[in-house]
Structure 1
Amino acid sequence: MSSALAIALTVAALVVGVAVLMLIRTRHRVTTPTERAVHSTLHTASLAAVSLRVGLTEESARDALGHLRVLTAADAVALYDDTGRRLAHDPVGEEIWDADLLRHADEAAAASLTDQRRVLEGDPCGLETPVRALVAQPLLLGTDDDATIGGVLMVATTRRPGPGTLGAIAEVARYVSSQLELADLDASRARLDRAEVLALRAQISPHFIYNALNTIASFVRTDPARARELILDFADFTRYSFRAAGEYTVLADELRNVDRYLTLERARFGPKLTVKVQAAPEVLNVVLPFLALQPLVENAVRHGVAANGGGTITVIARDEGTDCVITVEDDGVGMDPELLRSGDIDALDGRADLRADNVVSPGFEARRPGAPHTSTGEEVPESQGTHGGGSTARRPEAPHTSTGEEVPESQGTHGGGSTARRPGAPRTSTGERGEGARGGGRESQGAHVGLTNVDHRLRAAFGNDYGLVVDTGIGAGTKVGMRVPKFRAGIRA
């Protein structure tokens, strides 16, 4: 009896459990028809956006048309570019899109390039096709007052289109236009980034090039072997700086290029310039914008050496979880952080573009007024490798005599035009984050786009959280840092 009761209780428990499970699943599934329609429409639109965000090409049109046909509830659709050329049609085959219907569609698309919608009703092809109407809806880019034609959405339907259908087609066309505008914006940003890299290459300090060649010339008679090494370093530096391939590179390559640059500068300044480099092996393959590090080092050399007649440059690349943090620090004269707050970046970069928003970036501490100028990372001997092995930081060379007159560097500035600091300004320091790398910009003679350019490209690639951070104070030196994600989808060297 007890056995039968136990079996009965077990069966009852199973039945109750199944009933509860079915009730829960039913509640999750029960939605209104409107909710299901909204979800389906949004999902289809998101699928179409993936293809349209790369621009209007034959491949993107083929990928997007199936989703656009669902959104318009049409029997067939086609996409044309801004010249009236048909890129693709859906469905593929002659069941709907026979030769005559395609000809009528091409003519309607060409006519609609005047920015007016064209509707052909009746029996446009005159044969046995079931299509009774063609709607050519232009894709307008820009504002209503200054719109341009980005293409044409062609819709074929077996029913006479009413106001609701025409309105739906117009909304889908507006959605396609918005995605094409975003694609154009992405392309414009990419072109701008390439142009800024070209500008950065073109404005590599002529003072550095002249002095490097002058230094090499001074070694030709006194130390021919050293002169040959410097010529090779200079050739490798210029070859890398003016390379044609890629907007991105890996940190190891940037450090090698910095090592060549510092080799040439050490040959010029001799023991007055001390360089310390520390790079964690796990961050050497981190991808960052091309020529993102060298301008920071060049500014540090000018600021730390030219202003004080000597100094120490410390370059640190460390691992911080999902990010790589790179800092370039000098022990030069520093600058008034109020100039950063006010947007007067002329004192740092020769341009008034890199504004400050009084934010201290995580990981970069503001130095107290009068605090000693120390590196945030562990100092390493000069002989330690800059790339985790292989390449090593050379010891400063003995002083040399130049056969020609040296071109003086800017005194007390970072990257170009000399800017006098206010006498008696308070000795304070703070961590300042550059807010925007593009602005009106007052440009002093001979100034280059170094820090402004790097800040903009970092933000364009990784987002506004990844701009440059400047930590400085009068008499306390300057530290410029950047935070780069170890991995970012779509960004490869």
Structure 2
Amino acid sequence: MPSPALSDSTLLLITAIAAVVAAIAIVAAVGFRLSRSYRELGTEAEHATFAALHSAAVAGGQLRNGLEPAGALKASRQLRTLLNCTVFAMTDCVRLLAWDGSQAAAKAPESAVVMDLVAKALGNGRTQVATLDDTLREALGLPRGVDLKAAVICPMKVDSRAVGCVLILSKTPTAGLVRATNEVAAWVSAQLEIAELSASRTLLAEAEVRALRAQISPHFIYNSLNAIASFINTDPQRARDLVVEFADFTRYSFRRHGDFTTLAEELRCIDRYLLLENARFGERLQVSLQIAPEVLSTVIPFLSLQPLVENAVRHGLEAKLGRGLVQINARDLGAYTEVTIEDDGVGMDPEQLRLVLAGQHDGTHVGLRNVDARLRQVYGDDHGLTIDTGVGHGMLITMTVPKNQPGHDA
């Protein structure tokens, strides 16, 4: 017996019920996956730990240049959240640098008022807790009705000397909050020590560049001026041309901006140097260059190649009888640029070279050690000079630098 046919209304009802059931199943599945993902992120305590570490990491990045207003303000916003206080402020030894407050306490007071408040902590290097009476609240510019009862002031120290203070304002200055503020001040102090060390390394690098210039210049200047003088009567035009080359070379060597340059700029300096040396050596000095065009824009430390070429001429070829050849090559190694400087001069005892690079041998070849130390400082020990030499066998110097150098502007 055939089954009775379902009416259109019945079919529509069944379809609607099926759709609702499917939607509920999808929502349940999505909800299950979301709840599972949340559980995988960890407990509430772990979430709080992650948030605290994130705030500290962001604040640390803002303090990398030391105590300066813009970075201190951005760091204060993170650190106020970390301490959950109404106001977080930072000073140096003479002024208010940053004030971050919520709502009614958002406006920064006069710097002199804050410095009076932190003077004792700066003077004795110990944490202070000051009660905020009506007079002090008014001096700080806090509106009436703002329930802030105390200020916790913790000195920040670098090498045991106070360099500024962390100051917080709170309704309830508990022992735990005072201790937490002390820990934050100690953490900021550590960031400032790192910033000071970084600045010291930068100053040291600049001092090394100045020292390198001082080491190169007297010998080269004396010889160049003698060579130019020798042409004044016999070839005045060449003497004039050499004066221009000498001026361009010294202008580049004694420039006051930037610790980095491009390979192209350094090669231009070397070209002027060799033109001046050629006036002295004549046909005795032969030069060969093979430079891949794609590496000319590579950034290298300022005055890192010229001393190597001067070493080849001054110590390799000057003491050699007859002609000498200096070969300068630069090639593309993918992520790196390799530059080699080779001469067929008198060479050097490998043990003596080791002592020079270790700083245990004074006198000649100081430029080699200076350049080697700067390369290691900038790029790491894997990027120091590689030198092959032997007495009577010339010298081959290889320098390899990365092409990608964030933060190094030529």
**TM-score normalised to structure 1 length:** 0.72
- After TM superposition, list the pairs within 5 Å mapping 1:87-102 onto structure 2: 87-91=97-101, 95=105
SS at match of 1:483: strand
CA distance in 2 between counterparts of 1:8 and 1:271 reads 100
1:461 to 368, 373, 378: 378
- After TM superposition, list the pairs within 5 Å mapping 1:142-291 onto structure 2: 142=159, 147-159=160-172, 161-291=173-303
Opposite residue 147 of structure 2, the aligned amino acid is P
Using the TM superposition, give the Cα deviation of residue 292 of structure 1 relative to its aligned residue in structure 2, in angstroms.
1.0
Q: What residue in structure 2 maps to residue 443 of structure 1?
A: 362
Q: What residue in structure 1 maps to residue 56 of structure 2?
A: 45
SS at match of 1:221: coil
SS at match of 1:326: strand
Would you say how many aligned residue pairs link Structure 1 and Structure 2?
A: 389
CA distance in 2 between counterparts of 1:179 and 1:108 reads 24
**Superposed CA offset, 1:14-41 (max 9, x none):** 9877766654443332120111011101
CA distance in 1 between counterparts of 2:327 and 2:282 reads 17
Q: What residue in structure 2 maps to residue 481 of structure 1?
A: 398
**Superposed CA offset, 1:132-187 (max 9, x none):** 11011000112xxxx0112100011111x222111111111111111111111111
Q: What residue in structure 2 maps to residue 65 of structure 1?
A: 76
Q: What residue in structure 2 maps to residue 81 of structure 1?
A: 92
Using the TM superposition, give the Cα deviation of residue 206 of structure 1 relative to its aligned residue in structure 2, in angstroms.
2.8
Higher mean C-alpha displacement, 331-340 vs 185-194: 331-340
Unaligned runs of 5+ in 2: 6-11, 139-143
Instruction: Indicate if the aligned counterparts of 1:108 and 1:118 stay in contact, CA closer than 8 A.
Output: no
Using the TM superposition, give the Cα deviation of residue 88 of structure 1 relative to its aligned residue in structure 2, in angstroms.
1.9
CA distance in 2 between counterparts of 1:46 and 1:106 reads 28
Unaligned runs of 5+ in 1: 346-353, 356-438
Instruction: Indicate if the aligned counterparts of 1:275 and 1:312 stay in contact, CA closer than 8 A.
Output: yes
Kindly tell me: are residues 103 and 289 of structure 1, through their superposed partners in 2, closer, same or farther at Cα, counting changes over 3 Å?
A: closer
Q: What residue in structure 2 maps to residue 387 of structure 1?
A: none
Opposite residue 490 of structure 1, the aligned amino acid is G
**Superposed CA offset, 1:446-484 (max 9, x none):** x57422222232233333332222222333321122222
SS at match of 2:168: strand
- After TM superposition, list the pairs within 5 Å mapping 1:22-37 onto structure 2: 22-30=31-39, 31-37=42-48
Q: What residue in structure 1 maps to residue 319 of structure 2?
A: 307
Instruction: Indicate if the aligned counterparts of 2:86 and 2:105 stay in contact, CA closer than 8 A.
Output: no
CA distance in 1 between counterparts of 2:192 and 2:292 reads 42
Instruction: Indicate if the aligned counterparts of 2:385 and 2:399 stay in contact, CA closer than 8 A.
Output: yes
In proportion to residue count, which structure has more helix?
Answer: 2
CA distance in 1 between counterparts of 2:150 and 2:372 reads 54
Matched, 1:112 2:121: yes
CA distance in 1 between counterparts of 2:243 and 2:112 reads 66
Q: What residue in structure 2 maps to residue 377 of structure 1?
A: none
Using the TM superposition, give the Cα deviation of residue 10 of structure 1 relative to its aligned residue in structure 2, in angstroms.
11
Opposite residue 110 of structure 1, the aligned amino acid is A
CA distance in 2 between counterparts of 1:93 and 1:202 reads 58
SS at match of 1:285: coil
CA distance in 1 between counterparts of 2:108 and 2:74 reads 21
Using the TM superposition, give the Cα deviation of residue 488 of structure 1 relative to its aligned residue in structure 2, in angstroms.
1.4
Higher mean C-alpha displacement, 104-113 vs 30-39: 104-113
SS at match of 1:203: helix
CA distance in 2 between counterparts of 1:315 and 1:273 reads 13
Opposite residue 96 of structure 2, the aligned amino acid is R
Opposite residue 120 of structure 1, the aligned amino acid is A
Instruction: Indicate if the aligned counterparts of 1:123 and 1:131 stay in contact, CA closer than 8 A.
Output: no
SS at match of 1:443: coil
CA distance in 2 between counterparts of 1:130 and 1:222 reads 91
Kindly tell me: are residues 315 and 11 of structure 1, through their superposed partners in 2, closer, same or farther at Cα, counting changes over 3 Å?
A: farther
Kindly tell me: are residues 456 and 12 of structure 1, through their superposed partners in 2, closer, same or farther at Cα, counting changes over 3 Å?
A: farther
The structure showing larger relative contact order (alpha-carbon pairs under 8 Å, at least 6 residues apart) is: 1
Q: What residue in structure 1 maps to residue 9 of structure 2?
A: none
SS at match of 2:147: coil
SS at match of 2:167: strand
Using the TM superposition, give the Cα deviation of residue 90 of structure 1 relative to its aligned residue in structure 2, in angstroms.
0.8
RMSD between aligned residues: 3.0
Kindly tell me: are residues 18 and 332 of structure 1, through their superposed partners in 2, closer, same or farther at Cα, counting changes over 3 Å?
A: farther
Opposite residue 265 of structure 2, the aligned amino acid is D
SS at match of 1:332: coil
Using the TM superposition, give the Cα deviation of residue 107 of structure 1 relative to its aligned residue in structure 2, in angstroms.
2.1
Opposite residue 350 of structure 2, the aligned amino acid is P
CA distance in 2 between counterparts of 1:232 and 1:46 reads 53
Kindly tell me: are residues 37 and 245 of structure 1, through their superposed partners in 2, closer, same or farther at Cα, counting changes over 3 Å?
A: same
Opposite residue 54 of structure 1, the aligned amino acid is N
Kindly tell me: are residues 475 and 16 of structure 1, through their superposed partners in 2, closer, same or farther at Cα, counting changes over 3 Å?
A: farther
Provide the identity percentage: 46
Q: What residue in structure 2 maps to residue 135 of structure 1?
A: 152
Q: What residue in structure 1 maps to residue 340 of structure 2?
A: 327
CA distance in 1 between counterparts of 2:108 and 2:256 reads 47
Instruction: Indicate if the aligned counterparts of 1:96 and 1:131 stay in contact, CA closer than 8 A.
Output: no
SS at match of 1:180: helix
SS at match of 2:399: strand
